[in-house]
């Protein structure tokens, strides 16, 4: 508060006098008495004068530096804190004495006078807070501090006391030394400062301003050189640097700690499971190998690897993760297929002077890939085979039903125990969807991707011959499209089922949102973009906004009961003809997740689907504007 008010006071002085140069300012108390009084109180709070909030904060700071004597640095902390406070008091006294007292100013661009009433009002509010917090801290600050600390520490919050006087303690002595030392320091350096020297008072050979500017220039020059060395518009070199630095950062704790030692959980090796992962590894490597020239084959192999990950979750008794992974694999595969349609048919040619030797490049990429993959595998092995006696996982399992009201531990963690993380994740998902939509609005496909694929062109040419049998694509997709239309309500019902059962069984808002998104995706696949949008008004942005609003309002509703943000409640509700059913307020938060996932996924889908309309507009003749009729 005192720093904010001083920033505003400096702005007022600059506005009314035309300068902020302390060497030109003097005696402003005569022409600006009200502003000067406010600045004096705020400066006194910054110096730690009693009866102001700065005194309390400085006392707490001094108290935290005491009682740490394990090494020389910790033993020196109280002395360093006191010395820093001496300088703080010194420049506070200089600001008060040189700016507001002394002779009237003679070299100012403008005649100083009081600012308008409402320009000074924010300073008055902040200075008033400095006063009341310093005089009655237990009444003003304690309720706010209790609420903030309880949200973090819960029932384990230690006892504390907020009072103006706790007796003559060591922090009080440190404050007295700091205030006396600051005044003495200013008096000792007053004559030197009055000469207007720009250099540092204690180091006359070096000017602080010049040292600061040279440091900035040196940092900017080094940064530009590093950017010139590492900077590139190509994604692959950026990923190489990222992976290399990540591997080095992971090796440091692994090398310096006994991470690989210690007891391990006994696990029986399973041959089918090992073969399953062997197939997955082969698919992953094959996908990377053929990704450049055979994109569709790479996508198929990557999808097989994703399905094997789903089977791994089932093998390890994690059906909720398996269900989510399977639904995400379906949506991701379809969206990638839509994206592959508009990529250039060939990669741009890289000059030989820029491209390294293919053999060296492949060896480098292989080494990075093996290091990253082996590191992740080793990390997963260490985490899953070392017993963690004090792990938070046990608390989640024990309190999932008693405090969260759900038997599905994964869903309770997402929407209750770690609901704030989930809110951040869905917010990021919405931002990503909006970014993709904004980028694709102005995107125009490459010229070689606008034309129809060669196989499709050959089939249509054959169909146009006498007796060709009509459009082969229309005949091929007729039955499939009909089935896609029929399953639309069933997939919607499946999404509702997954949403309602998610608190106790595999499902939840995220899985249900992905399932409903698949229903919309199937409609786009069955027919054209125009056909779907003429019959369905999806409005994904409204879905996203409503979902985020639901999530925020659910969290804020806890404030009405004096509870922290996103605290959920749980009770049994009697439903006619059914009986008592469990009900948790986290259901509304999960509804927000569901709506935002549906909106984000369909927004990305429509952004990709609209490329077919834009490509035809680009290939066709330009549309001439209509001439206005003569009146």
Give the residue from 200, 215, 232 where a domain finishes.
Answer: 200
- Cα angle, residue 444 at apex, residues 439 and 446 outer, rounded to 5°: 125
Looking at the structure of the chain, the number of domains it has is 2
Q: Which carries the bigger pLDDT value, residue 423 or residue 441? A: 423
Using one digit for the tens of pLDDT, what is the confidence trace for 25-78? 889 999 999 999 999 999 999 998 988 888 988 888 898 888 776 778 888 889
Element counts in the chain: helices (H) and strands (E): 26, 2
Query: Looking at residue 626, what is its pLDDT?
Result: 44
Query: Looking at residue 289, what is its pLDDT?
Result: 81
In a domain, 101, yes or no: yes
In a domain, 54, yes or no: yes
Query: Looking at residue 616, what is its pLDDT?
Result: 47
In a domain, 364, yes or no: no
Mean pLDDT of the region 436-464: 68
How far out from the chain centre does Cα 595 lie?
A: 20
- Closest Cα partner for 602 from 528, 545, 517? 517
Q: Which carries the bigger pLDDT value, residue 431 or residue 567? A: 431
Q: Which alpha helices (DSSP H) does 355-418 contain, by range?
A: 358-385, 392-399, 409-412
Using one digit for the tens of pLDDT, what is the confidence trace for 342-351? 777 665 555 5
Q: Which alpha helices (DSSP H) does 207-340 contain, by range?
A: 208-230, 235-256, 271-290, 295-315, 319-340
**Contact 233/355 with Cβ under 8 angstroms?**
no
In a domain, 334, yes or no: no
Q: Could you give the percent of the chain with pLDDT greater than 90?
A: 26
In a domain, 573, yes or no: yes
Give the residue from 137, 165, 200 where a domain finishes.
Answer: 200
In a domain, 251, yes or no: no
Q: Could you give the percent of the chain with pLDDT greater than 70?
A: 84
Q: Measuring CA to CA, how many Å separate 470 from each of 247, 443, 467, 530?
A: 57, 33, 8, 22
In a domain, 284, yes or no: no
**DSSP per-residue letters across 527-554:** S-HHHHHHH----HHHHHHHHHHHHHHH
Mean pLDDT of the region 397-413: 86
Q: In angstroms, rounded to a whole number, what is the distance separating the alpha carbons of residues 399 and 290?
A: 48
Query: Looking at residue 454, what is its pLDDT?
Result: 62
Q: In angstroms, rounded to a whole number, what is the distance separating the alpha carbons of residues 385 and 376?
A: 14
- Cα angle, residue 207 at apex, residues 206 and 209 outer, rounded to 5°: 145
- Closest Cα partner for 535 from 546, 526, 544, 545? 526
In a domain, 328, yes or no: no
Host domain of residue 54: 1-200
Q: In angstroms, rounded to a whole number, what is the distance separating the alpha carbons of residues 538 and 536?
A: 6
Give the residue from 200, 229, 257 where a domain finishes.
Answer: 200
Using one digit for the tens of pLDDT, what is the confidence trace for 143-182? 888 877 777 776 777 777 777 777 888 989 999 999 999 9
Joined together, the tokens standing for residue 16 give 């009314």
Query: Looking at residue 618, what is its pLDDT?
Result: 45
Mean pLDDT lowest for which of 248-262, 333-347, 462-476, 576-590? 462-476
Mean pLDDT lowest for which of 96-105, 463-472, 618-627? 618-627
Mean pLDDT of the region 612-617: 56
Q: Which carries the bigger pLDDT value, residue 628 or residue 226? A: 226
Whether the predicted pLDDT of 371 surpasses 80: yes
**Contact 2/42 with Cβ under 8 angstroms?**
yes
Query: Looking at residue 9, what is its pLDDT?
Result: 93
């Amino acid at each position: 508060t005192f720093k904010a008010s001083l920033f505003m006071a400096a702005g007022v002085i600059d506005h009314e006098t035309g300068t902020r140069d302390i060497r030109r300012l003097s005696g402003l108390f005569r022409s600006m008495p009200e502003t000067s009084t406010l600045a004096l109180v705020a400066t006194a709070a910054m110096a730690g004068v009693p009866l102001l909030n700065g005194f309390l904060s400085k006392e707490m700071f001094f108290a935290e530096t005491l009682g740490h004597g394990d090494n020389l640095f910790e033993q020196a902390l109280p002395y360093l804190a006191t010395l820093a406070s001496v300088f703080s008091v010194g420049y506070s006294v200089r600001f008060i004495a040189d700016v507001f007292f002394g002779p009237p100013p003679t070299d100012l661009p403008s005649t100083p006078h009081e600012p308008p009433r409402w320009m000074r009002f924010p300073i008055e509010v902040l200075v008033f807070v400095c006063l009341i917090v310093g005089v009655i801290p237990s009444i003003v600050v304690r309720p706010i501090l209790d609420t903030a600390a309880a949200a973090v520490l819960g029932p384990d919050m230690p006892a504390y006391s907020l009072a103006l006087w706790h007796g003559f303690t060591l922090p009080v002595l440190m404050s007295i030394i700091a205030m006396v030392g600051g005044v003495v320091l200013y008096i000792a350096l007053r004559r030197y400062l009055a000469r207007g020297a720009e250099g540092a008072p204690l180091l006359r050979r070096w000017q602080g301003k010049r040292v600061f500017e040279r440091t900035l220039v040196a940092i900017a020059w080094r940064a530009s050189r590093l950017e010139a060395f590492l900077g590139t518009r190509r994604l692959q070199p950026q990923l190489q640097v990222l992976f290399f630095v990540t591997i080095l950062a992971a090796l440091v704790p692994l090398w310096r700690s006994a991470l690989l030692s210690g007891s391990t959980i006994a696990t029986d090796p399973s041959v089918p499971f090992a073969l399953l992962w062997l197939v997955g590894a082969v698919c992953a490597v094959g996908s990377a190998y053929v990704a450049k020239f055979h994109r569709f084959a790479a996508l198929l192999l990557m999808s097989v690897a994703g399905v094997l990950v789903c089977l791994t979750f089932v093998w390890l008794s994690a059906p909720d993760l398996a269900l989510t992974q399977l639904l995400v694999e379906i949506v991701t595969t379809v969206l990638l297929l839509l994206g592959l349609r508009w990529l250039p048919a060939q990669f741009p040619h890289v000059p030989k002077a820029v491209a390294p030797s293919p053999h060296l490049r492949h060896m480098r990429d292989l080494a990075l890939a093996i290091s990253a993959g082996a590191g992740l595998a080793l990390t997963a092995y260490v985490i899953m085979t070392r017993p963690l006696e004090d792990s938070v996982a046990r608390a989640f399992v024990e309190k999932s039903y008693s405090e969260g009201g759900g038997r599905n531990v994964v869903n309770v963690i997402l929407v209750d125990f770690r609901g704030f993380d989930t809110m951040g994740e869905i917010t990021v998902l919405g931002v990503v969807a909006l970014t993709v939509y904004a980028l694709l609005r102005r995107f125009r496909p490459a010229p070689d991707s606008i034309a129809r694929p060669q196989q499709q062109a050959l089939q249509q040419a054959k169909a146009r011959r006498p007796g060709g049998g009509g459009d082969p694509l229309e005949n091929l997709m007729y039955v499939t499209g009909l089935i896609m239309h029929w399953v639309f309500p069933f997939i919607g019902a499946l999404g509702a089922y997954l949403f309602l059962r998610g608190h106790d069984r595999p499902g939840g808002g995220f899985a249900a949102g992905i399932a409903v998104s698949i229903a919309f995706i199937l409609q786009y696949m069955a027919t054209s973009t125009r056909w779907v949008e003429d019959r369905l008004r999806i409005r994904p942005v409204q879905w996203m906004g409503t979902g985020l609003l639901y999530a925020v309002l659910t969290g804020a509703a806890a404030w009405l009961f004096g509870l922290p943000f996103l605290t959920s409640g749980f009770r049994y509700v009697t439903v006619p003809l059914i009986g008592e059913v469990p009900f948790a307020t986290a259901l509304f938060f999960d509804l927000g997740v569901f709506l935002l996932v549906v909106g984000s996924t369909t927004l990305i889908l429509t952004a990709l689907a609209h490329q077919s309309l834009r490509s035809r507009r680009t290939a066709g003749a330009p549309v001439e504007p209509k001439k206005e009729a003569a009146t």
